[in-house]
């Protein structure tokens, strides 16, 4: 039976201690040139690549092991990580010991021809994986864990309670109701969200079950824009775009932010769990005032009995198989992904249960929200649709194709077909047979 995110509460206290302590079944295996040293010659060293959001976490780890391990925190853009690692693979040197990476790269790092990812199952206490419940299954490849989920990015329905009250709207529970509610915004200045960037991919196509990267086995992937799980999305959402109540700009577009979001004109928007803290609230982003925003569970598609989520983000920590001290690299990944005290004030929903509990207590009690948004987040954490899997080609890069098409005015169907055709063309090059 599938475990829920909030299962195994009785284990949480003990597991928290395990998480803070770091790894378990360490060995002396490894090599590489990025670490080095021993207790006799001075502190060991680790090079960690992070994005700007995760840099404070790395600095926290840096301080926690000062005097024992010299940790260098280097900011590297997520779009740069994979090409840089591939260059190191070619040169045979220069690998970072730990990276924060987009989740779609997990299968690439673990692939034998790449060989970057350390098999964490050999270095991390199994209790750590157990405390994730199913939240770290993305990192489970061929029976071993090759990464640790930093956070979940399950989609929820964010909505503005002030606008809903003003217009007498009811929070939709089905996708048909979502479309009907959106159409009620016609004649107002309000919109039902923005679907540029990854919004359409993660918030609509993925939850609907559109087969974009449905891995059947190690050599077979299902990609089919003609599947009914894809076409029903086009049929339901295109009228909203045509009616002017759904934006095809990105939620991060400067014009959208200034003209729509900061004017409090977003009535609702399907978006990831981290949007509240990172997109909706900050003064330099949407800047929505206190007491207006909360989240509801994902609306249910017709014929389904579950409101499924996609994921927009949900980054991973990967330790290097080339690290001079692989146990150190694994321990660093554990701390960065799981430490409850360090994770408590961060913007994203922790995948590791003990860290989640501290985070949720803070966010749930925050008067910024009109009602506790973590209730919906917890429900959706157990309902992330699992038929969109890590693949050995650069899915994140190809999502840019979808965004470009949408931003350029293509219909949702045409944009999706162009995007999925790019996947069909990439898949054979990394050993997949594409099926419909």
User: Pairing relation of β-strands 151-152 and 349-350?
Assistant: antiparallel
Average pLDDT over residues 347-365: 95
Print the domain residue range for 120.
9-152+313-364
Is the pLDDT assigned to residue 4 strictly greater than 90? no
- 226 & 265 share domain: yes
Is residue 387 domain-resident? Answer: no
Q: Higher model confidence: residue 370 or residue 16?
A: 370
Band (pLDDT 50/70/90 cuts) for residue 163 is: very high
CA–CA gap between residue 7 and residue 368 (Å, rounded): 28
Residue 394 has a pLDDT of 87
**From the CB of residue 75, how many other CB atoms can be counted at a distance below 10 Å?**
13
Residue 280 above 80 pLDDT?
yes
Residue 140 falls within a domain, yes or no?
yes
DSSP 68-128: TEEEEEEE--HHHHHHHHHHHHHHT----SEEEE-GGGHHHHHSTTT--B--GGGTS-HHH
Q: What is the rounded average pLDDT for all residues in the chain?
A: 90
- Residues of the chain with pLDDT > 90, as a percent, come to 84
Query: Do 294 and 336 belong together in one domain?
Result: no
Answer yes or no: is 1 within a domain: no
In a domain, 277, yes or no: yes
Q: Is the Cβ–Cβ distance between 346 and 278 less than 8 Å?
A: no
Residue length of the chain:
436
Q: Which residue has the tokens 């997520």?
A: 78
Q: Residue 341: CB partners within 8 Å, gap ≥ 6?
A: 358
Residue 101: pLDDT over 50: yes
Structurally, the chain folds into a number of domains equal to 2
Residues 304 and 317 in one domain: no
DSSP for residue 375: H
What is the mean predicted confidence (pLDDT) over 301-311?
A: 96
**Could you tell me if 162 and 296 lie in one domain?**
yes
Where does residue 241 fall: left (phi above 0), alpha (psi -120 to 50 degrees), or beta otherwise?
A: alpha
| pLDDT score of 343 | 94
Determine the pLDDT at residue 41. Answer: 58
213 and 136 part of one domain: no
Listed residues 324, 343, 364: the one ending a domain = 364
Residues 262 and 280 in one domain: yes
Residue 249, in any domain of the structure: yes
pLDDT at 27: 32
Give the burial class of 431: count Cβ atoms within 10 A of its Cβ; 0-12 exposed, 13-18 middle, 19 or more buried.
Answer: middle
| 403: phi then psi, degrees, rounded to nearest 5 | -60, -45
Do 331 and 227 share a structural domain? no
- List 217's β-bridge partners, or say none: 220
123 and 194 both lie in a single domain: no
Residue 40 lies in a domain: yes
| Banded model confidence at residue 197, pLDDT cuts 50, 70, 90 | confident
* Mean pLDDT computed over 158-173: 98
Contact 350, 357 (CB under 8 A): no
Is 287 in the same domain as 167? Answer: yes
Residue 18 in this model has a pLDDT that exceeds 50 = no
CATH number at residue 78: 3.40.190.10
Residue 361 has pLDDT above 50, yes or no: yes
Task: Classify residue 56 by burial, with Cβ atoms within 10 Å: 0-12, 13-18, 19+.
Answer: middle
Distance CA 370, CA 250 (A): 25
Do 301 and 175 fall into the same domain?
yes
Percent of the chain whose pLDDT exceeds 70: 90
In a domain, 32, yes or no: yes
Question: What whole-number distance in Å separates Cα of residue 219 and Cα of residue 310?
Answer: 24
What distance in Å separates the CA atoms of residue 317 and residue 100, rounded to the nearest whole number? 5
**Tokens (6 digits) for 168:** 């007498």
What CA–CA distance (Å, rounded) separates 60 from 181?
A: 45
The token pair that represents 70 in the structure block: 């010299």
Among 16-25, 49-58, 193-202, the range scoring the smallest mean pLDDT is 16-25
Q: Are residues 247 and 303 in the same domain?
A: yes
pLDDT digits (tens, 9 = 90+) for 21-75: 333 333 333 333 444 444 445 689 999 999 999 999 999 999 999 999 999 999 9
Q: Are residues 138 and 212 in the same domain?
A: no
Residue 289's CB is within 10 A of a number of other CB atoms, namely 10
Mean pLDDT of 200-227: 96
Cα end-to-end distance, the chain, whole Å: 29
* 386 domain residue, yes or no: no
The residues, ordered by sequence, that sit 6+ positions from 313 with a Cβ below 8 Å of its Cβ are 102, 103, 151, 153, 272, 274, 348
Tokens of 312: 């927009």
The SS3 assignment for 362 reads: helix
């Amino acid at each position: 039976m599938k475990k829920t995110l909030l299962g195994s509460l009785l284990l949480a206290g003990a597991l928290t201690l395990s998480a803070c302590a770091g790894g378990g079944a360490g060995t002396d295996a490894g090599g590489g040139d990025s670490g080095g040293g021993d207790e006799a010659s001075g502190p060991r060293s680790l090079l960690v690549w992070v994005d700007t959001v995760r840099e404070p976490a790395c600095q926290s780890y840096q301080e926690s092991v000062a005097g024992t391990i010299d940790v260098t925190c280097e900011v590297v853009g997520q779009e740069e990580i994979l090409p840089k690692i591939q260059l190191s693979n070619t040169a045979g040197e220069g690998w970072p010991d730990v990276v924060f990476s987009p989740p779609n790269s997990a299968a690439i790092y673990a692939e034998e021809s790449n060989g970057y990812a350390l098999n964490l199952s050999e270095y991390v206490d199994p209790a750590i994986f157990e405390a994730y419940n199913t939240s770290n299954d993305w990192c489970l490849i061929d029976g071993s864990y090759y990464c640790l989920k930093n956070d979940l990015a399950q989609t929820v329905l964010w909505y503005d309670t002030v606008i809903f009250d003003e217009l007498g709207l009811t929070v939709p529970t089905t996708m048909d109701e979502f479309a009907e509610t959106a159409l009620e915004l016609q004649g107002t200045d309000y919109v039902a969200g923005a679907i540029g960037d990854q919004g359409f991919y993660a918030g609509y196509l993925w939850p609907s079950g559109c087969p974009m990267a449905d891995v059947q086995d190690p050599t077979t992937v299902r990609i089919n824009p003609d599947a009914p799980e894809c076409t029903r999305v086009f049929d339901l959402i295109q009228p909203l775009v045509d009616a002017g109540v759904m934006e095809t700009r990105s939620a991060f577009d400067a014009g959208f932010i200034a003209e729509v979001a900061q004017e409090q004109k977003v009535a609702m928007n399907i978006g990831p769990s981290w949007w509240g803290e990172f997109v909706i609230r900050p003064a330099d982003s949407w800047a929505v005032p206190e007491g207006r925003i909360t989240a509801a569970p994902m609306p249910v598609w017709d014929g389904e009995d579950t409101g499924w989520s996609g994921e927009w983000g949900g980054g991973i920590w990967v330790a290097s198989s080339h690290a001079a001290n692989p146990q150190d690299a694994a321990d660093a990944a554990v701390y960065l992904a799981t430490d409850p005290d360090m994770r408590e004030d961060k913007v994203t929903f922790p995948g590791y249960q003990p860290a989640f509990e501290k985070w949720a207590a803070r966010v749930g009690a925050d008067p910024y929200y009109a009602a506790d948004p973590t209730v919906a987040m917890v429900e959706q954490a157990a309902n992330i649709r699992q038929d969109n899997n890590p693949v050995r080609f650069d899915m994140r890069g190809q999502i840019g194709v979808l965004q470009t098409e949408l931003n350029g005015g293509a219909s949702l169907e045409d944009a999706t077909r162009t995007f999925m055709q790019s996947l069909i063309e990439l898949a054979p090059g990394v050993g997949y047979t594409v099926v419909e």
